[in-house]
């Protein structure tokens, strides 16, 4: 295995693969219905990477130092051959971990199959316990009960579960404490995500960000929490635990406390393009590469060259002007 680094010495360790640009939710901060309406043209299947193409690329990434893969979307459970893909990825020598990000609405019927295929853990997106508010956010009529049933099914089959809550001022900050209480009692890690300027359609500005410090202050009025040391270089979440328990709460602080200096993640979008930053405006066409290049070494060398030239540090450099004016790939293509 060859370990490669970028211009700032950051190794390539994590790969996130968006397996579809489709989603059954229309969350207002990600895929607002006024943009992604009934007539929106999603990618035809032939423009998505096949399972064989994804596995071929994954093997190249693992040979360059990647040890963890996360499957994202859109909503990845909408991909019908997902269990087969997970099984194929699980067979890659040197790959230590496969995870999935999901809205959990389809988990009651799919948790067993993806666990049997080799999936180890999931991150569930849930932004409110209050059902009326949650339905207003997801804008698709899906209830909190359906998501919670998905979480319970995942736990039942033995998947490790973490819950991600995007916090946006004026939207759901009143759910911060109720979510903490609920998942603390359930023994499930909850992670608060600062509202980020991913893409250009979610109406982001600084005034809508609830910072980690604000959330910690709110939680500290109800719980005793203490910081937990990171497990590895590039760990995204700032981790805390409730005193006297093993249950954790975390914070993803892309806006208030940038973690660009330890970012080890590459992303393959639903259309097969490689992005070296969540906030990138352009990518590198791996779909064309994998469909035209018969030599696996050639694929590996191209990826190594792309990563070796990487200088991304968007969150370090973010300003209100750059956040509003920079064209960025949409979350539904690039995943999380």
pLDDT in tens, 4-39: 999 999 999 999 999 999 999 998 877 888 888 888
- pLDDT given for residue 327 in this prediction: 62
Whole-number mean pLDDT of the chain? 89
**pLDDT tens digits, one per residue of 136-177:** 999 999 999 999 999 999 999 999 999 999 999 988 999 999
This model's pTM is above 0.85: yes
- pLDDT given for residue 320 in this prediction: 52
**pLDDT tens digits, one per residue of 41-71:** 888 989 999 999 999 999 999 999 999 999 9
Structural domain includes residue 5: no
Structural domain includes residue 296: yes
Structural domain includes residue 1: no
Please say whether the beta carbons of 143 and 131 come within 8 A.
yes
Question: How many separate helices (H) and strands (E) can be counted in the chain?
Answer: 12, 12
Helices assigned H by DSSP within 118-244: 131-138, 144-157, 176-186, 212-220
User: How many separate domains does the chain show?
Assistant: 1
Whether 204 shows a pLDDT value over 60: the answer reads no
CA distance 157 to 176: 28
Looking at residue 146, the DSSP 8-state letter turns out to be H
Structural domain includes residue 8: no
How many CA atoms within 13 Å lie on the side-chain side of 316? Answer: 9
Q: What CATH number does the domain containing 87 carry?
A: 3.20.20.70
Please say whether the beta carbons of 105 and 142 come within 8 A.
yes
- Residue ranges making up the domain that contains 99: 14-334
- pLDDT given for residue 158 in this prediction: 97
Q: Which two tokens stand for residue 104?
A: 């959990």
Lowest mean per-residue pLDDT among 104-108, 255-259, 271-275: 255-259
- pLDDT given for residue 197 in this prediction: 60
Q: 37: Cβ–Cβ under 8 A, 6 or more apart, which residues?
A: none
CA distance 62 to 134: 38
Structural domain includes residue 9: no
**pLDDT tens digits, one per residue of 276-287:** 988 777 899 999
Whether 233 shows a pLDDT value over 90: the answer reads no
Which comes out higher in pLDDT, residue 140 or 317?
140
Q: 255: Cβ–Cβ under 8 A, 6 or more apart, which residues?
A: 194, 195, 196, 206, 209, 211, 315, 318
- pLDDT given for residue 51 in this prediction: 96
- pLDDT given for residue 220 in this prediction: 95
- pLDDT given for residue 91 in this prediction: 97
- pLDDT given for residue 41 in this prediction: 87
Which comes out higher in pLDDT, residue 182 or 253?
182
- pLDDT given for residue 209 in this prediction: 87
Residue-wise over 175-206: b if at least 16 C-beta within 10 A, else e?
A: bbeebbebbbebebbbbbbbbbbbbbbbebeb
- pLDDT given for residue 96 in this prediction: 95
Structural domain includes residue 4: no
Structural domain includes residue 2: no
Q: 85: Cβ–Cβ under 8 A, 6 or more apart, which residues?
A: 19, 51, 54, 55, 71, 79
Residues paired with residue 18 on neighbouring β-strands, in sequence order: 72
High-pLDDT (> 90) share of the chain, %: 69
Structural domain includes residue 274: yes
């Amino acid at each position: 295995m060859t370990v490669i680094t970028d211009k700032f010495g950051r190794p390539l360790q994590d790969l996130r693969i968006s397996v579809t640009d489709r989603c059954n939710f229309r969350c207002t901060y990600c895929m607002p219905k006024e943009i992604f309406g009934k007539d929106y043209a999603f990618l035809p299947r032939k423009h998505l990477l096949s399972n064989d193409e994804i596995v071929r690329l994954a093997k190249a990434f693992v040979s360059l130092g990647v040890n963890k893969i996360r499957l994202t979307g859109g909503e990845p459970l909408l991909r019908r051959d997902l269990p087969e893909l997970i099984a194929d990825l699980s067979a890659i020598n040197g790959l230590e971990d496969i995870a999935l990000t999901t809205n959990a609405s389809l988990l009651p019927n799919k948790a067993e199959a993806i666990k049997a295929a080799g999936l180890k853990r999931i991150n569930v997106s849930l932004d409110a316990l209050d059902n009326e508010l949650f339905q207003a956010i997801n804008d698709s009529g899906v209830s909190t009960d359906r998501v919670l049933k998905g979480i319970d099914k995942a736990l039942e089959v033995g998947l490790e579960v973490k819950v991600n809550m995007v916090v946006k001022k004026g939207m759901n900050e009143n759910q911060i404490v109720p979510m903490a209480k609920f998942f603390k009692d359930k023994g499930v890690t909850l992670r608060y995500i600062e509202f980020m300027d991913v893409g250009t359609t979610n109406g982001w500005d600084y005034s809508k960000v609830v910072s980690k410090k604000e959330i910690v202050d709110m939680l500290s009025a109800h719980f005793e929490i203490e910081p937990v040391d990171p497990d590895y270089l590039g760990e995204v979440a700032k981790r805390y635990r409730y005193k006297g328990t093993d249950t954790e709460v975390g914070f993803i602080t892309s806006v208030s406390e940038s973690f660009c200096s330890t970012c080890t993640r590459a992303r393959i979008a639903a259309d097969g393009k490689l992005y070296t930053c969540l906030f990138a405006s352009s990518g590198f066409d791996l779909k064309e590469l994998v469909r035209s290049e018969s030599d696996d070494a050639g694929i590996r060398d191209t990826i190594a060259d792309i990563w070796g030239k990487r200088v991304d540090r968007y969150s370090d450099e973010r300003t209100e002007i750059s956040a509003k004016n920079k064209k960025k790939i949409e979350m539904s293509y690039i995943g999380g």
